[in-house]
Structure formats: C-alpha cells, structure tokens
Structure 1
Amino acid sequence: MLFHVRMDVHLPHDLPPTEAAEILAREKAYSQELQHSGKWRHIWRLAGQYANYSIFDVRDNEELHAILSGLPLFKFMDIEVAPLLRHPSSIRDSDA
C-alpha cells in the first residue's frame, strides 16, 4: 500500500546540541535504511520549513505505524497520513 505522509519536526529550543546531533544521525541512518529497502520510496524537503513529504510503500497501516513510531524524531513530529490509490487516468503502471 502506498501512503503520502507529511512530517513536521519541532525540536525543542532547549534540546542540548549534542543530543540533537545524535538523534539526527540516528534519524538519517534509519530513514536511509528504509529508503534502501524500498519501503520509503520518496522524500522531499518543504522549502523554508523543517518538514517533508514522503511516500511509503508498505504492507498495511500497521507496518506504516511501526515505521513512523520507530523514527528517532517521532516524539518531536506532527504527522499527517493519507492512503494513496493508483489513479485510473495514470499512464504509468509503476505507480501502483
């Protein structure tokens, strides 16, 4: 199943820089592992915001929830999820 996910990050201003750097390093490694596996298909930064739009390709809602809740930045995020279906007018079979 494909999901469109918006993630807005709100790091606390009083988070020690060394702790923030450690969390961000873990976040990058985790997200890149998921990208290599094909589960995190796309990620785009939103210009001027600490936010992204991502496309996930996972088995079901439960797998998506496990992935998102496993993000090291999860407790600092507002997340919106929308399931996606292939549009009947799409000319690309790979959009499934």
Structure 2
Amino acid sequence: MLFQVEMTVKLPTDMPAEQAAKIKATEKAYSQDLQHQGKWRHLWRVAGSYSNVSIFDVEDNAELQELVSNLPLFPYMEINVKPLCRHPSSVREDDT
C-alpha cells in the first residue's frame, strides 16, 4: 500500500544543539535504511520549512504506524497521512 506522509518537525527551542544533532543523525540513518529497503519510496523537502512530503510503500496501516512511530524525530512531528491508490490514467506500472 502506498501512503503520502507529510511531516513537519517542531523541535523545542530550548533543546541543546548537540542533542538535536544526535537525533537528526539517528533519524537520517533510519530513514536512509528504510529507503534502501524500498519502504520509504520518495522523500522531498518542502522548500522554506522544516517539513517533508514522503511516499511510503508498506504492507498495511500497521506497518506504516510502526515505521513512522519509530522515527527518532517522531515526538517532535506533526504528521498527516493519506492513503494512495493507482490512478486509472497513470502510464507507470510501478505505482501500485
């Protein structure tokens, strides 16, 4: 199943810089691992904000919940999820 996931990060302004850097480094490694596995299919930065729009390709809602809730930045995120399905006019075969 494909899901569009919009994530906006809101770190506390009083978080120490080294703590924020450590969380971000762990987040990067985790997200890149999911991308290599094919679970996190696309990742785009939203220009001008600390946000991204991503496409996840997972078995079901439960797997998406598990992956997203394990993001190190999860406690500091606002997340919106939209399930996706193939458009009948799409010419791509790999978007199911």
TM-score (norm 1): 0.99
Asked if residue 33 in structure 1 is aligned to residue 30 in structure 2, the reply is no
Q: Tell me whether 1:23 sits opposite 2:23 in the alignment.
A: yes
The sequence identity of aligned pairs, in percent, is 62
Query: For 1:11-61, what per-residue CA distance to the aligned partner results, in whole angstroms no more than 9, with x for missing partners?
Result: 111000110011000000000000000000000000000000000000000
In the alignment, which residue of structure 1 is the partner of 2:89? Answer: 89
In structure 1, list runs of 5 or more residues that go unmatched: none
Q: What is the Cα deviation at residue 91 of structure 1?
A: 1.1
Q: Which amino acid aligns with 1:90?
A: S
- Paired with 1:73 and 1:61, the residues of 2 have a C-alpha distance of 20
- Does 1:80 pair with 2:80? yes
**Matching residue's letter, 1:81:** V
Structure 2 unaligned regions, length at least 5? none
Return the offset for 1:93.
1.1
Number of corresponding residues: 96
Deviation digits for residues 40-83 of structure 1 (CA, Å, limit 9, x no counterpart): 00000000000000000000000000000000000000000000
Correspondence for 1:2: 2
Aligned amino acid, residue 86 of structure 2: R
After the TM superposition, list the runs of 4 or more consecutive aligned residues in structure 1 that deviate by more than 6 angstroms.
none
Q: Normalised by the size of structure 2, how large is the TM-score?
A: 0.99
Matches within 5 A, 1:60-75: 60-75=60-75
| RMSD of aligned alpha carbons | 0.4
